[in-house]
Chains A and B, each alone.
Chain A
């Protein structure tokens, strides 16, 4: 297992995602001799996990069963331990495309936070790219590096414990893309420019408030960035349901001339029709943040 390469079977030391059913999952560090409690009973790593194929069904001690899934950045995003607010897959997908990330890209990111976006970036730029990520909170930067090691992607990433607004990204003229998710991104724009390749590249800033966007756009413009564009992408999930719509009883229909003792029965009182449709979830996330993109021209 690695977050950047699939493997077929579960091995000692892997991180596996245990699927408990209906959006309920939990990440498990696979360790020989270790056990994991679930609501369906105990999973014994040595016998139940190690050597099994990813995607197989594992029967727990109480007779219930779970599926064990191969980790992906998307599954990690919904399972990771939060140390900060995180970016979710909808924004991550947009960022990845609009920053033009691909294998070989060199990317700068700040802050690292809980590493939700970092894992997605690493997946996309592997095996030849590199991520320089900056996190000013020391404990968070240590924790995330530990995770990168566990997930076997640490060879693709450098974590720096510094302030991107003051000290920049620790690299000069190497980045194809820069991503900013900090409270005052406008203070880091000039550092972003320094970090980027002479030939230019793409930059993105994520901010929840429009005032932040306003200031950031001004900073981009002042630093000579081009094609500045702010967007918002929202996810809509559709719950698939069969709904039953009752048919009203209009009473006997005299115009329908039916022989007195015909075999056709009049419509029943509780007649209804079934429709396969979707309904929106009761609560939906209406706003995550504005994404501002820009291009750094050749300098």
Chain B
């Protein structure tokens, strides 16, 4: 990115962009699609008018779900407050202070009155408003604004915004990982450009996306995924440029044992096929070496050809008897099979690429945040890190990180182990009304972080190594 570019095009909302809608403290990630209805905060609208506007523009909702860029803020005098009381000794809560009824307000809304105007009506018809203290009036207006002002701001997505959005909307999907804890993870793992980072997460892709943002498209990220495929909904929301995705690799965690044992056959077509072939693979190649692309291709062709042949013979045999329609069907099926094969080939290539990246066992960082028990994941994945590299494990629960800690201390190979959590407090800062915000988040999860060091060689199985070097007790002669 050039430093001094003042080019608006970089900041303009385009069709197809992934954006974040904001109203108050509520966020929602959407993609800009014309003529598509979006529901946000009990309002529906179309994003068509956002196209061509600049990011961070605030829009007003006009009838019919049309967005209109809001004019520069009206001077505050519009909700003019004439006089204020000093205390509430004469304010009675009789439920009659507001002269407008619910129906009146509905009518005002139907007339298409703007939020600002409705609020003014409410103030004018409140018998107690002028007796309220200045602060209470301010609070009243703010509350009404929240309810009646139909505005929405369109933001460019970022790790900050998406992490806050997920934590606010769907904490269950991200294992209750609070945004400040995610911030700590990225820093403790020293995530930066031009490194090779392993990520294992079940946080909808939020953690992966955050790591990718910090790497800026330089270096490589290997996502270790459980189940049938990597979850990346959260990554999409970041709206990364295409070249970021070239740095992203994926590796199914179900192949990890095979990779560690050196029996992984990257020519396998899919996990199930791989299982069938695993015996054979173990025989043929005791060490799983990634085949060169040429080898992979020729093998694929050899494997592919018998199938094709049999298909051809079938169609010829049938073709002589059955009508044309079925022939076409056959052709379509064949095309589908071909397509599937191409996809499998692609998948295999990806697997081979990820495997070769892992096999160097020289990754620069490891980030784990999942709903799985972290201990076995950590123990398995640490093997792929270079010495003197940071790792960080997130868990919603402390107990499983205690287990990780104990295991690492027993096993050695790490230093600087720290089990931590974080406390986040928001403040309301207003003249004469500054105090901590009433509600705070109860728990943001726990982190275990540390640094890898060279593993001990030929260590007696029972010996427990203290983290503290003991000068006289043992004399180590490293070979």
Contacts and interface: CB of A to CB of B under 8 A. Distances in A.
Given A104-B1, A233-B423, A235-B420, A67 B476 contact: no
Nearest to B466: A21
A103 B186 contact: no
Contacts of B182: 97
A66 interface: yes
A6 interface: yes
Interface stretch (B76-84, B274-282, B448-456): B448-456
Interface string A205-239: 00000100110011000000000111111111111
Contacts of B451: 55, 69
Contact of A57 (B188, B216, B476): B476
Nearest to A19: B415
B345 to A, nearest CB: 33
Interface in B405-429: 405-406, 415-416, 418-427, 429
A57 B453 contact: yes
Given A20-B469, A74-B188, A232-B425, A126 B406 contact: no
B415 A124 contact: no
Interface string B185-221: 0111010111100000000000000000111111000
B477 A59 contact: yes
A278 interface: yes
B216 A128 contact: yes
A56 B471 CA distance: 17
Nearest to A123: B192
A233 B179 CA distance: 11
B402 interface: yes
Interface in B421-463: 421-427, 429, 431, 434, 446, 451-454
- Chain A interface size band reads 35 or more
A293 to B, nearest CB: 9
Nearest to B6: A198
A285 to B, nearest CB: 11
Nearest to A73: B190
Among A57, A70, A102, A297, the most chain B Cβ lie within 10 Å of the Cβ of A102
Given A89-B188, A128-B216, A231 B426 contact: yes
A230 B405 contact: no
B56 interface: yes
A63 B215 CA distance: 41
B89 interface: no
B215 A103 contact: yes
Nearest to B196: A6
Interface in B173-187: 179-180, 182-184, 186-187
Chain B: number of interface residues, binned into ranges: 35 or more
Interface string A101-137: 0111010000000000000100110111010000000
B186 A126 contact: no
B170 interface: no
Interface stretch (B34-42, B91-99, B143-151, B386-394): B386-394
B364 interface: yes
Given A92-B187, A214-B429, A238-B419, A21 B467 contact: yes
A234 B406 CA distance: 25
Given A6-B389, A127-B193, A235 B422 contact: yes
Given A6-B364, A103-B215, A67 B422 contact: no
A267 interface: no
A142 interface: no
23 contacts: A6-B389, A8-B362, A39-B471, A56-B453, A56-B454, A59-B475, A59-B476, A65-B476, A70-B389, A94-B184, A98-B183, A100-B160, A103-B216, A128-B1, A199-B6, A199-B10, A200-B56, A230-B427, A238-B420, A238-B446, A277-B402, A278-B398, A278-B402
Interface of B: 1, 3-4, 6, 10-11, 54, 56, 158-160, 163, 179-180, 182-184, 186-188, 190, 192-195, 213-218, 362, 364, 386-390, 398, 402-403, 405-406, 415-416, 418-427, 429, 431, 434, 446, 451-454, 467-472, 475-478
